[in-house]
Amino acid sequence: MASTDVVRTRTGVYHDSVSLMRVSRAASALPGVEVAVVAMATELNLGIAAELGFGLPPADPADLLIALRGEADALEAASAELDGLLAALSAPSTSGGGTERPPRTVRAAARERAAALALVSVPGPYAFAEALDAVEAGLSVMIFSDNVPVEQEVLLKRRAAERGVLVMGPDCGTAVVGGAGLGFANVLRPGPVGVVAASGTGAQQVTCLLDLAGVGVSHVLGVGGRDLSADVGGLSTLRALEALDADPATELIVLISKPPAPEVARAVEEAVAKLRTPVVTALLGPGRDDLTSVTEAALRALGVPVPTWPSWPAPGTSGAGAGLSGLSGSSDAGAGKAGRNVRGIYSGGTLCVEARLIAGTGEFTDFGDDAYTVGRAHPMIDPTLRLEALAEVPSGDVVLLDVVLGHGADPDPSARLAPAIAEAVARGVTAVVALVGSEGDPQGLAAQAGALNAAGAAVFTSNAGAAGYAARAASGTTTDAR
């Protein structure tokens, strides 16, 4: 049956990019729908729709663009279902009375409502103005948006320092403030550990391992992946460390980052030495501890026993995932010894860096990088690009994937990943999964692990454990999940 296009716009309707990406994903999964684009009609999104072959009516960035392609007799029902999804986004909050007119600017919202923090989730080119509005209103701000120029980031953070507030981001994917999770957030118990993270998935790995060990968090303050670069100079990291040091509920601070600029690392280490609260650092790099080892160091500092991190051996192998600490030393088991390659297909940048450091060799791609998220959902929401990469892994290679759970992420990642993993295993690929999540996450940690494991993957709750195992599997030095 020939495909049909339905394209329409709505004027004066705004929804944030994350919400619309989830709606697009849901619409794409409806019966008879081949392609769905639901996005604000920015120049970028219009260009993406045009590249997909849609004929577009005149529109401006304040309009909502809806473009569907599929079987003609299915699109009417799909359009009705889509209208319901969009109506749910527009439904007034029950806590707000439902009748008052919402404020039109961040500064107006700050005047009218008791708020200390603003969340900015708009396309990158528009994030700066909204974030600056929040800072000037005396609010700390979490910038979920990516593709924000570094010059704008530096200006925002310098102005925030002058105003005595904190800028988390840009590209801050995870935060927990006063028990409230923002962005991609796991369900974590309250506790004594405060986290400062220039890494979203790095923070999720550490806090989920802590949660599995029975230890909770006070706050998780993301600062954006570039904060410890030479350009930004750790502006938000230093501010966040000061804030947690002054917090009576925080007994221990964990500092997490991808490899920082050397001069910035030195400045941060000097600042850490002056704090009253003890700090455990996870500044990833050659010769440094991995995230699992850092988590274990934090547990020991709190006097909490280090558990055996849960893992599930691949079907047909023996052994359980015992003793996963210290696996960063396993990089000498590199992929080339047996002619097998490790292929890392990641959604989290820090997890990807950590895995590459541990494996020592192989091909690793972070599909959560800005280059892959322009105009499309983050791979923690939409696995399409990773599924395409998984389908291209040749027989005999070892594929290493992360699956990150929590609010904001795919509500059932194994539903699409497990069949693809099973197909890869059937053609001779060894599959290894780093499953990052807590027992309270809505997807169900055990259920996701079971589905991925049943598809043929060895599953680890420690990314370091998964990477070490993948490297040993590629070298032919292991037959089980230890």
Q: pLDDT of 300-344, one tens digit each?
A: 999 999 999 999 999 877 554 433 333 333 333 333 344 589 999
Q: pLDDT of 174-209, one tens digit each?
A: 999 989 999 899 999 999 999 999 989 999 999 999
d(CA 253, CA 206): 12
Question: What confidence score (pLDDT) does residue 99 get?
Answer: 53
432 beta partners: 400, 458
Who contacts 79 (Cβ-Cβ below 8 Å, separation ≥6)?
A: 6, 68
Q: pLDDT of 90-105, one tens digit each?
A: 766 554 445 566 777 7
The parts of the chain modelled with pLDDT lower than 50 are 95-97, 320-338, 479-482
Closest CA to 229 of 152, 327, 154: 154
Alpha carbon distances (Å) from 126 to 41, 121, 174, 220, 375: 13, 9, 20, 25, 14
User: Phi and psi of 276, rounded to 5°?
Assistant: -80, -30
Who contacts 46 (Cβ-Cβ below 8 Å, separation ≥6)?
A: 56, 59, 65
Amino acid (one-letter) located at 112: E
Amino acid (one-letter) located at 93: S
Strand order across the 63-71 sheet: 3-11, 63-71, 33-40
Intra-chain end-to-end CA distance of the chain, in Å: 51
- In the block, tokens 């010769």 appear at 287
**CB-based contact 220:314 (threshold 8 Å):** no
Strand order across the 458-460 sheet: 311-312, 458-460, 430-436, 398-404, 342-346, 363-366
Closest CA to 168 of 237, 85, 66: 237
d(CA 358, CA 208): 20
Q: pLDDT of 120-139, one tens digit each?
A: 988 788 899 999 999 999 99
pTM to 2 decimals? 0.83
d(CA 75, CA 89): 21
What does the angle CA 24 – CA 109 – CA 136 come to, to the nearest 5 degrees?
105
The full set of domains in the chain, from first to last, is 3-94 (3.30.70), 108-301 (3.40.50.261), 311-475 (3.40.50.261)
Who contacts 135 (Cβ-Cβ below 8 Å, separation ≥6)?
A: 141, 156, 159, 160, 163, 165, 167
Closest CA to 440 of 179, 189, 182: 189
Question: What confidence score (pLDDT) does residue 326 get?
Answer: 36
